Structure 1
């Protein structure tokens, strides 16, 4: 925690969609080399990959996690249930992941970090995205949530219970209202191309947090990968700032680990705050010696 000085400097690493690309020892050493105060995981660890989630839970750094749609891949979707590689009548891997994570899973919940003067509040976990209410039975049976209105209220309740006035929102998918182009931060990049695919319940919860007098410097998420599916000529917008001064960060730079002839390279999104305000966000790549070999500054105040 050496970054938290008298000047109130905090360094946060956001880990984009993992998709089975997590190396427990190497990623831990990389994070330690970066002198990180807090690690945020936006989910999609794998297709109900219990052991990988266990490895994340065992990371000995302050952290908060939200689970993504792939983390309920065989359970929430009727289309995928027939592909399930295990007997769902004998084990519940979604619940196993939730049990392993415990209170560090902030979906529909919150986690206070008083030493950092901030609370992390999670949006709707396991989100597939979009303006239509999906996976009705899953959300009804798991969370007693029946629609976007219920979902918004559950997130707002977590905001109200959070101890700190500074709120960082952690989602799997981002909120609606941030653009409808294919390259927008939550834009639909498959056929038919274009449409705001953000979560309306998340957007409404953020708006109500402002009304509650909360400070929201950062909203971070993944799900919509930086590489566009049908357009190789540009990448997705990773940063949006709204009129309230909140910065929205899409951290889904995939694949997050690549293997080349000279070793492994891994990326993190690094958010630096000073006195509760964001002063820089960058996407960095580290080599196998945990040296930063590339830094793309996405935001600088």
Structure 2
């Protein structure tokens, strides 16, 4: 069977939701005419109701869970604060059951119509270079270290059908800068330092060595509004010498009210010939029209030749 790849693929990346998802968001995605939707996690504090709405979206999609999606489960600290009885309920598993194969944490999904695969990094990441929540990762995935995590991500890469691979994580990789304003920079006191995921950086390097094309690595977790300064926003885009675009999509809050409108944001990525052509942050109004569009990245003509 011959696969005819679309000339231009439109991808919506949905940053950290934190309970701000409504039925209107699904309509907005349809109106935007996207071919694929990527969710980078943090739907809420084990917000099964939000995940239920995400699971019902009738568009090609891939999802990875964030640290808030196991907020009351992954750590002893969280379990002590849990509003429900873990002997009776498992809200992490409820979310996974709803999402089914669309949850790609430590997994992958092939999209034949788009001639690409989406591979998920380590789910539930808090970021940083300390291996956290050891018991949780051991029980959920049988993983005990960053090195084992790298191998699990690479197993998904090797299983993916297509040469073009998009990687999604909740947090981004190390290596994108150690300034507080960097895509994964530590912006709380004392500000500064790379809070990325070292296993994701290692997995990306090894994915290149397998001959895969990685046009896009996208993630959230580190919100655009910075804690240490209000003079600027976090850097949202970094590009690598290999041509990969790294997109932090955590524009939070993702729904805002104005005097006359209710706006919701999406990051829109245009992919042409296996290369990211353009990235924009768009805000959609109550009438589902694009109220504003901020161009975050435009590929040079030389890249697209």
TM-score (norm 1): 0.97
Match of 1:123 in 2: 121
Which secondary structure does the structure 2 equivalent of 1:298 belong to? strand
Count of equivalent residues: 297
Match of 2:12 in 1: 13
Contact 2:4–2:113 (CA under 8 A) maintained in structure 1: no
**Are 2:267 and 1:269 aligned?**
yes
Counterparts of 1:23-172 in structure 2, within 5 Å, are 23-24=22-23, 26-172=24-170
Q: Kindly report structure 1 stretches of 4+ aligned residues shifted beyond 4 Å.
A: 4-7
Q: Distance in 2 between matches of 1:190 and 1:5?
A: 47
**Are 2:175 and 1:180 aligned?**
no
1:63-98, CA deviations, whole angstroms, 9 ceiling, x for partnerless residues? 000000000001012222211111111111111111
Counterparts of 1:187-198 in structure 2, within 5 Å, are 187-198=185-196
Match of 2:255 in 1: 257
Give the unaligned 5+ runs of structure 1.
none
Deviation at 1:110, TM superposition (A): 0.1
- Residues 90, 82 of structure 1: alpha-carbon distance in 2 compared, 3 angstrom cutoff: same
Q: Distance in 2 between matches of 1:284 and 1:7?
A: 23
- Residues 173, 6 of structure 1: alpha-carbon distance in 2 compared, 3 angstrom cutoff: closer
1:44-70, CA deviations, whole angstroms, 9 ceiling, x for partnerless residues? 000001111011000011000000000
Contact 1:156–1:208 (CA under 8 A) maintained in structure 2: yes
Match of 2:208 in 1: 210
Contact 2:6–2:114 (CA under 8 A) maintained in structure 1: no
Which secondary structure does the structure 2 equivalent of 1:282 belong to? strand
Contact 1:8–1:276 (CA under 8 A) maintained in structure 2: no
Which secondary structure does the structure 2 equivalent of 1:115 belong to? coil
CA RMSD of aligned residues (A): 1.2
Deviation at 1:5, TM superposition (A): 8.7
Match of 2:231 in 1: 233
TM-score (norm 2): 0.96
- Residues 55, 6 of structure 1: alpha-carbon distance in 2 compared, 3 angstrom cutoff: closer
Contact 2:172–2:220 (CA under 8 A) maintained in structure 1: yes
Q: Distance in 1 between matches of 2:62 and 2:211?
A: 23
